[in-house]
Structure 1
Amino acid sequence: MPIKKTQQEKLESFFDSLNKEIVKNGSKSIKVKTLVKNFGYSKRSIQNIMKINDELKSRGLFAQPEYSMDLKFESILRISSYPVKQLGDLFSSEKQLEDFFDTKKLYKKLDIKSVERQYSPNGSKDRLDFRGITEEGEVVVLELKNFGGGKSAVEQVLRYTGLLKLENSKSKIRTVLVTGIQNYETTLAINGMTKTQRKSFEWYLYKFDKSSNKLDLIRLSDEDFK
């Protein structure tokens, strides 16, 4: 007769499988109910939510979004060994983020004098969120992503940079990506850039407070990309 595993043994088996997936793919997506079940709980409470989050932290793991009572059982968590960072509230859509940036002229926080929204480079069907100009005449690719962006966002910004360089061969092109979340996928893509690309690439996290309707921008340093 097979020996029945204890709850702690089941939990260790779960984390062993989870870590293998994270090593292989960078992260693992699971439902809230799956996480709760593997801890041996049938329902949620403030106490066991704290215990689960503490257990993840003690094992060097991070959940995005952070596990809380606000999430439904069918909600998806992405768990990774990379410290996912979110500084404040998120907008409901990227259009809302773009509208807020435009209306409040937040691009001025990035030393951009003026912008043209949804700019389409010559000979291309691409549309930049914003094409900016600085006081010094530098041309700026300004791309906004409500969540993390990932590899596709980084590739998008670099493609736009190349298109604007063709139009402005004598101008310096600044590349700026603003996201609501600092995640593993975006960091990995930035680390894969050439030295030249990396030198001109700026990544900011936005910190939005719904209650005060204010937004700040925090630039990520090279230390944040490790």
Structure 2
Amino acid sequence: MSGTIDVVLPCLDEAAALPGVLRGLPAGMRAIVVDNGSSDDSASVAEELGATVVHEPRRGFGAAVHAGVSAATADVVAICDADGSFDLAELPRVTGPVLTGESDLVLGRRIPVSRTAWPPHARFANAYLARRLRKIAGLDLHDLGPMRAAGREKLLSLGLRDRRSGYPLEMVLAAAREGWHISEVEVTYRPRNGRSKVTGTVRGTALAVADMSRMLRGAGLR
């Protein structure tokens, strides 16, 4: 596989966070910022910092990521939040096993640096869903977080349909059905820059749990 990696960064009103996020991008990686209907200057800030900007007006994590992966051209794509909660300098930990062929899909297991980095309701919801996933799919995974990497063509071949919060789990379930080797590595998780729009809120977490629970009920595994 080529050593160049496209990094898809779903973005909704992250103008304040983007400079710090994009400055941490490792060499050999290209940023694709997917503006998901921002009301601030996220798109122009990203362009000024050299990122490719894709506009996806349909709201939803899955919609934004799918648009970014579709626009990518590298053999390997990484996905990461654009809110400053992840250190992009750690991306090689996630992409490395994909580049070497050791894994088909790698997920970053979040290790929070402080209690404020990961709100309790979001952490407990993630643990609950990961436990159900381990039971249903037999995968040794502990986090369904957004930092991950896979081969672009293989990822598109999964035909993922969810365009909301169920997308991350649908990806894992579809990959498991296809017999992919799926692994996880530890990554640092920091307090995000600004107000969370999704899982940092109780309402957003409830929506994610509902979307992912629906995925698990129809998983068709074991």
Could you say which structure has the larger radius of gyration?
1
TM-score for both structures, normalised by structure 2: 0.23
Higher relative CO (CA 8 A, sep ≥ 6), structure 1 or 2? 2
TM-score for both structures, normalised by structure 1: 0.23
